[in-house]
Amino acid sequence: MASQLDQLKQFTTVVADTGDFKQLSQFTPQDATTNPSLILKAVQKADYAPLLADTVAAHRGEALDAIVDQVLVRFGLEILKVVPGRVSTEVDARLSFDTEGTLARARRIIGLYQAAGIDRARVLIKIASTWEGVQAARQLELEGIHCNLTLLFSFCQAQACGDAGVQLISPFVGRIYDWYKKTAGSAWDEAANAGLNDPGVKSVTRIHAYYKQQGIRTEVMGASFRNVGQILALAGCDLLTISPELLAQLQATDAGGQPVLRQLGGGNTGATEPVPPLTEAAFRYALNDDAMGVEKLAEGIRSFAVDSAKLDALIEALR
């Protein structure tokens, strides 16, 4: 019998959210995504210690940030040997409010991939969806460098990304769920906020519908899942990036008893009047007005920055 993972793939492009490329083949994902935390987790495993050491040794004497990018790309290259589609590689989160710095790192990363013989169409540059990050992505897309705008929690972030013509966005389902659950405290009703009523699911559903209604080509990729229920509630989303642990659960569940049903429709409905682009002032005010969006964006940048610093330290110790 088909598994839930097999059925999900009929409606949605399945992406693996991991830096552990040795896990990938069993799930046959189309694409893969990485971030600083996932790469840090991978390089601390014994299986990947030689890869890290070899990469650092090959570039000893170069600037630390240049070696970091070499490590990130090395993992990306290994991932691309397994997946037929794209890999997402993230720009240092400490550049989240630096448009020019983001542009420089993104161009260097794509240059490293191209030097290794990889077509730029197979790489997505991950950038935090701050105003500065969106503007960097706007310019990169004009240069033919496709972007994945991450740490996306608020609708205004999605609107700005659509305005900028970015290739793909990654709204974070699980972290939105976490915020609402923590905020509600003892009043939280898990059953009432599950499935289609999950606040993270509702956020992605709204964004997906808006893009389709407006004819925006930006792909929507739900990310950061806490459970299988959130994933199944978004069947039909353009893409879903899923951890190996949850991919394994989907693969192990017989869809005969629990079939996967399409929840989100596809195609351009053209159902609404065009929405004018957000100005910087309007974006900043709308984000400021969304407590969840403000808090989770700041928290996410801080968390990725901490893990980037830890990766720096591991590499520094090998130089």
Active-site residue set = 126
Q: Where are the beta strands (DSSP E) in 21-122?
A: 31-33, 87-90
What CA–CA distance (Å, rounded) separates 168 from 145?
12
What CA–CA distance (Å, rounded) separates 260 from 231?
10
CA within 13 Å, CB half, 312: 13
What CA–CA distance (Å, rounded) separates 119 from 231?
30
Q: Give the closest residue to 96 by CA, choosing from 125, 68, 127.
A: 127
Q: Which residues pair with 295 in a beta bridge?
A: none
Longest dimension (CA), the chain: 58
Q: Give the closest residue to 237 by CA, choosing from 196, 270, 205.
A: 205
Let me know how many helices (H) and strands (E) the chain has, helices first: 13, 8
Q: Give the closest residue to 242 by CA, choosing from 84, 56, 35, 32.
A: 32
